[in-house]
Amino acid sequence: MPLCLRVDGPPPGIQPAVAANHCQEVLQGRQLVTGLLTLAGKALPAVATDFCGNLVLGAAWLATLATEEPLTAAYSRWNYPAGLATNPLFLRTNAIITAVWGEAFLFMAVTALGTAFMPEQKPLWLTLRYIPLILAGLFTACFLTGTRPM
């Protein structure tokens, strides 16, 4: 789960400034397309903003899978011994978690389009919108602890 979604502050051992920088990067990525168009004097409707934001966020998370270090490994390594950050199992675990969250954000982009093109089904699309976040959060919690939800 991204650090900026934590309400109790950054995990132990992570400097608040590092957590704040991460949150700022996530928000900047989410607002990149919208911000550029706004500066150009072209405001987007809320649905387009929502779609673009989630599309950019999902693509950014998935794009890190092509690098040596998936996005979640970049900040979860602070909770583990320094030598573990290069361990293939650690990187693979974080690649799986990054992929789950990236796909959840992409699904949210699709639900934004569903809300726009089928407004009569808005309650359905709004419900569907949050299911991937709940599932990704449960998956991350269970995957990291090795437990299964009851």
Q: What ranges do the domains of the chain cover?
A: 3-145
pLDDT at residue number 14: 47
List, for the chain, all residue ranges whose pLDDT scores fall below the cut of 50.
1-11, 13-23, 26, 150
pLDDT at residue number 61: 93
pLDDT at residue number 29: 53
Q: Are 67 and 111 in contact (CB under 8 A)?
A: no
pLDDT at residue number 43: 58
pLDDT at residue number 28: 54
Q: Cα(38)–Cα(13) distance, rounded to whole angstroms?
A: 38
Q: Cα(106)–Cα(114) distance, rounded to whole angstroms?
A: 13
pTM of the model: 0.68
